[in-house]
Amino acid sequence: MVTVSVKWQKEVYPAVEIDTSQPPYVFKAQLYDLTGVPPERQKIMVKGGLLKDDADWSKVGVKEGQRLMMMGTADEIVKAPEKGPVFAEDLPEEEQVVNVGHSAGLFNLGNTCYMNSTVQCLHSVPELKSALTEYNQLGRSNDLDHSSHLLTVATRDLFNDLDKNVKPVAPMQFWTVLRKKYPQFGQQSNGAFMQQDAEECWTQLLYTLSQSLKSPNSSGSPDIVKALFGIEFDNRIHCAESGEESTETETVYSLKCHISQEVNHLHEGLKRGLKSELEKASPSLGRSAVYVKDSRINGLPRYLTIQFVRFFWKRESNQKAKILRKVDYPLSLDVYDFCSEDLRKKLEGPRQVLRDAEGKKAGLKTSGKTSSSTDGDVKMTEAEESSSGSGEASKTTQEGVLPEKEHHLTGIYDLVAVLTHKGRSADSGHYVAWVKQENGKWVQFDDDNPIPQREEDIPKLSGGGDWHMAYICMYKARVVPM
């Protein structure tokens, strides 16, 4: 670290730290936070001319305590007349966010698109934001390590920054803490930070939050992240050779879509992922044997995460290669076929309520099996709101995890976020987040550049070429009040 002072116009910023292990663009992002001057407008005088975004600090020769001169104009917000119409630019920034219809983008701090896209997808989960906001009240538990606590706080603060800004946010603190907690994200090559796997970032961040966001109240969910993202499996493990059979339960945070020549659709890939072979010691045979593992979903989350298993290790080139095959995925996904018999029985009632609500919306007569009272009409209306696909469930959905007694899952999910990868290798290429907003509109978050998208174009991110293709899909449960 080198500490310098920066003079801009009449202002002097006396103690600005430069992390010389990071490119100058990161330093410019810091100055953007201080001055409001976007990095592309900044002209910083150094020995030999102007500071370039990708310059080598060792050659720039910046010294401790040196004063740097910066030129450039900040973004100006037009002032409205004392009396007259109020323009969007005159609103407080938090109100501008509402007016724009989406939150801010994130600056790329040097191959951090994997992190930015992960953050943007998870930031779209209102219940997770609510849990993070309450983290102060929950308090840090005694068995939580300090680095997990810091990463949770950094996630909460970054989510808040995204909600309050229309200008891009520099996620400096979050990235610093993420690298301290998980050093693999700090790997460098030739002095630059390396591209990392977005799925690994997603998994590690959710794991940390699952450890920290534990509700001490008996009324709340003891594990908020598990309630939001956890998928419970019943596994049957059978050996045809010995006849041995056992059962086990496990909780995972994503379903895997395995891709092969036979897989053309997400449904087929998920089905393949529920059956696998493993080799382990057989007590009755006294040696290793092949077992078949059959899995069925026995507990569903509020948000269903699906990973397309596109990367594999290629021995010839000794690197991760990518399966480019096109695999179609729907805007609405029904996972009823993947559920255990017990769970299917629990889903039948809510599914009938949903069918009746959608039938009523279409002007059809309802079955009348699940509700016949006037109260039933109110519930039907709420069910219609929940299944409208606009991203707006009942009001309590926005406030936290819904009480299980009031709202029930149907096994039907609506797509709310897609994380895509463009390129041929996991160690290179580019990650982007495509997120459905609360107003029902889709936005592509390409680092610091949010771009509105049409919903009909989202399923086209299915692969088959060098364009962006889905790597992680996140679906939101369609719920009905019972």
Catalytic residues: 113, 430
H or E element in which residue 393 lies = none
H or E element in which residue 73 lies = none
How many Cβ atoms are within 10 Å of 421's Cβ, its own excluded?
A: 29
Residues 104/166, Cβ–Cβ less than 8 Å? yes
Using DSSP bridges, classify how beta strands 67-71 and 2-8 pair: parallel, antiparallel or unpaired. parallel
Contacts of 137 (CB under 8 A, 6+ apart): none
Contacts of 206 (CB under 8 A, 6+ apart): 122, 225, 229, 253
Q: DSSP string covering 232-285, please?
A: EEEEEEE-TTT--EEEEEEEES-EEEE--TT--BHHHHHHHHTEEEEEEEETTT
What's the Rg (C-alpha) of the chain? 25
CA-CA distance, 304 to 330, in Å (whole number)? Answer: 13
Burial of 196 (0-12, 13-18, 19+ CB in 10 A): buried
